[in-house]
Structure 1
Amino acid sequence: MAHPTPDGRTAVVTGAASGIGEAVARQLVADGARVALLARREDRLEQLAAELGPNALAVPADVTDPASVDAARQQVHAALGRVDLVVNAAGVMLPNPVDDGRIDEWTRMIDTNLTGVLHVVRAFGPDLVAAAAAGATADLLNVSSIGAHVVFPNYAVYGATKAAVTQLSAALRSEYGPRDVRVTTVEPGLTDTELGSHIDNPALGPDGQLGAMFDAIGALSPADVADLVGYVVGRPRHVNLRHVVVLPTRQA
């Protein structure tokens, strides 16, 4: 479904190479926005940009690296100018029992899911403030997870990073809201993305715990989440849908 995006929005979407990020990029281009596609996999970005046409710009970047994000900002500004919509969709989900002591996985999730969001906010937050001051609609939308609230065994660190994103969004709203920048947290439930393919514990992945959840509940598609994002950012400038949870109907 198309949603109105007033004034031809200029957007940055992280995690745009796959999953929710890719779907959001597709949705926003369909709605008339110019979209910078940020992710690490340059080949996937180039392919998506070619498919989406002249309103999509491939910008290879690693959100865990502040220098990489700063370089992406320069590239975006040179090609598209000031940004008025930022969607943080980059994320990684690596469940394992905390007893396993997987510092490598913990660090990767914290660096991507939380610190990566901060790097992007640091880079593009001033754009959002300037856009709002000029009278434009300005949005920061962070993709969190129902795991921020609901406890799943083996997902302690993932859930902690997403709880941090949800809390960060709430705190940022207190700083940005008075300057007319909207901040929204979207918390999807079970969604069919490639995140499950990153799980290295067979008992927990698509052939184990995660797969059993898909079989029992069914899942959202990335396009379902993207449709919601398009709706949220298409509201009138004075309306902020601050915290939106979207679940498969069978997920409690």
Structure 2
Amino acid sequence: MNTPATPDQPLSGRVAVVTGASSGIGEATAERLAAMGARVAVLARRAERLDSLVERIGQKGGRALAIAVDVTDVAAVQSAADRVTDDFGDADLLVNNAGVMLPAPIEERATDQWQQQVDLNITGLMNVIGVFTPQLVKAAQERGVADLVNMSSIAAQNIFPNFAVYSGTKAFVTHLSRHLRVELGPKKVRVSALEPGIVGTELQNHVTDEGALQWLADSKESGMEWLTPQDIADVVGYLTALPSRVNLQQVTIMPTAQPS
């Protein structure tokens, strides 16, 4: 039986799935949703990190389930979805957060990096959406609301040198989300695209392009305070706890001092 929502735990009774949950925004979001009362399935490739996250959530009185999975493997994603249903019931809150950022000048023809970004940021995202959407639709009909939250980036809107492929994948995420909102909204599934500016996560650790690294370093040296993963997690918690009639379609979240 689902526990009724309360002001302190507005997501009680809900079943959340968070991808890319082994660090950064995904990790913080899983902890935030659990603190708000949701049962949370955390998905990522690093099993040990997920186990540690589940333990922390449990110590704070929450319930979480760790599922080690590569979202580019659609069969593995389907298996993960089946396990969520078996353990928690159908998911009614999905946060698509898994992604990678690998900027490079287009003339370098870093085709392996291009493919990696397309595979994870687009194909992996679509695998998760395709597998979990039936659960979201079913849960929305039974419970009155479900949420699909896709993690995009300010790069979907703005121009950053050497970020063309990454920015293209995030533009896909934002535009896809608009279309899915029209398609799924009448079925009581809210769709939101979040577009953060610079967030201090492991994402920057994968960057090797000197120009991008210099840009990131300059932003730090200028004294600009980056967003934290907890900032984004708080926004996810806020928008998923809103009354079912309210859908924040697209949210841009910027460091106060970041110009673009």
- Shorter-chain TM range is over 0.9
Q: After alignment, is 24-33 or 209-218 more displaced?
A: 209-218
Rounded to whole Å, the distance in 2 between the matches of 1:29 and 1:110 is 30
Rounded to whole Å, the distance in 1 between the matches of 2:42 and 2:11 is 20
Q: TM-score, normalised by structure 2?
A: 0.92
For 2:21, the aligned partner's letter is: A
Mapped pair 1:16 → 2:21: yes
State whether residues 87 and 140 of structure 1, in contact with CA within 8 Å, keep that contact through their aligned partners in structure 2.
yes
Partner of 2:30: 25
State whether residues 34 and 63 of structure 2, in contact with CA within 8 Å, keep that contact through their aligned partners in structure 1.
yes
For 2:135, the aligned partner's letter is: D
CA RMSD of aligned residues (A): 1.4
Partner of 1:227: 234
Stretches of 4+ aligned residues off by more than 3 angstroms: none
Report % sequence identity. Answer: 48
Write the deviation string for residues 9-43 of structure 1: whole angstroms up to 9, x where unpaired: 10000000001000100100110100000001111
Partner of 1:215: 221
Offset at residue 146 of structure 1 (A):
0.2
- Aligned equivalent of 1:48, options 50, 53, 76: 53
- Aligned equivalent of 2:77, options 51, 69, 91: 69
Write the deviation string for residues 194-233 of structure 1: whole angstroms up to 9, x where unpaired: 111111234533xx22221233332000000100110000
Mapped pair 1:151 → 2:156: no
Partner of 2:112: 104
Mapped pair 1:173 → 2:173: no
Partner of 1:199: 207
Offset at residue 166 of structure 1 (A):
0.2
Partner of 1:238: 245
Mapped pair 1:36 → 2:44: no
Q: TM-score, normalised by structure 1?
A: 0.95
Offset at residue 7 of structure 1 (A):
4.6
SS in 1 for 2:230: helix
For 2:196, the aligned partner's letter is: P
Number of paired residues?
Answer: 249
Rounded to whole Å, the distance in 2 between the matches of 1:242 and 1:120 is 19
- Could you list the runs of 5+ residues in structure 2 that have no partner in the other structure? 1-6
Rounded to whole Å, the distance in 2 between the matches of 1:7 and 1:44 is 25
State whether residues 94 and 198 of structure 1, in contact with CA within 8 Å, keep that contact through their aligned partners in structure 2.
yes
